[in-house]
Structure 1
């Protein structure tokens, strides 16, 4: 019997697959990021003296959201999370795969060493955040404003930020995000590729 020979997916196909998968990840990310954003906002308000100090924990925020808005309250900002994740991960995986193709120069990508893999992962992370950082800013603002019921949806929040704070406000904090993204995603893909190779070698040994 002949063995089925499958061609590896193209860079575009890998990017599209990552983009599709991110839509499902958004369903998990949205509630957790909503809780995180609210905790961070409460801490900043306590530090600045705008509100009295209290015992704010993950569980207390979860109970407050559930009591006030029910289960759907955890999905404030879902549309903006999807707008960030779906195109963002297209650029993330697309940038990673294109960079690997560049370093491979016609060879198999599996032959790449740790340095090209880390550089490719870092490049993918940079592509992700350059593409979606303004959307992430709007998403976080929506999730914070939903505490007081003042959030006005994606378009309304976007217009409000640009009108009151200027376009550059959408990129506030981009530089440290990029500085963090490069080594973090470089390490992520390096660990992924080497653990994948290890597991494949063990699988083939059996």
Structure 2
């Protein structure tokens, strides 16, 4: 495997471990899962629940990051940039990033679906077809449930809006990172300066990326979680132990038919809650994006240098 494959795989896994607690809060804000001050204490995220939904992206995001960076680097070469570590055209950088984002769709769509549902369903928060808000609901049980009820197409529910989000977002991701690096570059740069530059530029790139696609991400989250928190009122009010925890085929069919697409989700959200709904959770997301992407880019650049040196030593 190439150096960029392993560097991106490991840095992606590191990013998930660091960022999952804040990602959980972001997802619940987007899906309107907001406990009131008078709600039972079980509605608030617990220490255990802060890692809820992590297994799906932890397993999938390493692969996703590898697909992203390998496709980006190869696309940049095909677009005329001989050295992808020092590109000359920011336009080519954006295009290569968008192609890399599109390539990740095969992994990101099911990963995001399982992650978002796991994050919304836990700790008595929200309703649910399978879990009904049980604390035992986890990524694996949700994935099995989707596979059993809907097969492969079910795992790609919300895939269209996810692919658009990823293409636009990763275009700005690589573009803003390279722009920041080029603006920061100075002669006689020390190793310390270079390390600080990577951390800050990576963090800024993460914030710019999420700011550019946040409304799309809100819509994606609501599309993918709607079978659970957007059940009919009588289903949402059902308590644990009732028949809705194991619904029959007719009930599942009714819920599936009730699901709506991205445009309808966006329209209803705007009509009911105004334009501000598309930026709910952006503050939490920005904090998470800076921290995660600063560490992730630093890990990627460091491992790339390490693996390149190792390759050169073996060739000597």
- Shorter-chain TM-score category? 0.7 to 0.9
Q: CA deviation at 1:41?
A: 2.4
Q: Kindly indicate whether the alpha-carbon contact (under 8 Å) linking 2:94 and 2:175 is maintained by their aligned counterparts in 1.
A: yes
Q: Kindly indicate whether the alpha-carbon contact (under 8 Å) linking 2:170 and 2:209 is maintained by their aligned counterparts in 1.
A: yes
**1:16 and 2:16 matched:** no
**1:87 and 2:168 matched:** yes
SS in 2 for 1:9: coil
Which of residues 257, 260, 263 is equivalent to 1:155? 263
Q: Kindly indicate whether the alpha-carbon contact (under 8 Å) linking 2:125 and 2:133 is maintained by their aligned counterparts in 1.
A: no
Question: Residues 11-160 of structure 1 correspond to what in structure 2 (within 5 A)?
Answer: 11-43=90-122, 46-47=124-125, 51=132, 53=134, 55-105=136-186, 113-147=194-228, 148-149=255-256, 150-160=258-268
The range that moved more, 136-145 or 49-58, is 49-58
CA distance in 2, matches of 1:184, 1:54: 27
Q: Kindly indicate whether the alpha-carbon contact (under 8 Å) linking 2:120 and 2:225 is maintained by their aligned counterparts in 1.
A: yes
Question: Unaligned 5+ residue runs, structure 2?
Answer: 1-81, 229-254
Q: Kindly indicate whether the alpha-carbon contact (under 8 Å) linking 2:203 and 2:294 is maintained by their aligned counterparts in 1.
A: yes
> What TM-score do the two structures reach when normalised by structure 2?
0.58
CA distance in 2, matches of 1:180, 1:169: 19
CA distance in 2, matches of 1:162, 1:43: 27
CA distance in 2, matches of 1:52, 1:42: 5
Q: Kindly indicate whether the alpha-carbon contact (under 8 Å) linking 1:15 and 1:94 is maintained by their aligned counterparts in 2.
A: yes
**1:187 and 2:295 matched:** yes
CA distance in 1, matches of 2:107, 2:290: 24
Which of residues 167, 177, 201 is equivalent to 2:285? 177
CA distance in 2, matches of 1:200, 1:49: 50
Q: CA deviation at 1:189?
A: 1.0
Cα distance change of structure 1 residues 194 and 175 upon mapping to structure 2, 3 Å threshold: same
SS in 2 for 1:113: helix
CA distance in 2, matches of 1:35, 1:112: 40
> What TM-score do the two structures reach when normalised by structure 1?
0.86
Question: Unaligned 5+ residue runs, structure 1?
Answer: 1-5
More helix by share: 1
Cα distance change of structure 1 residues 82 and 52 upon mapping to structure 2, 3 Å threshold: closer
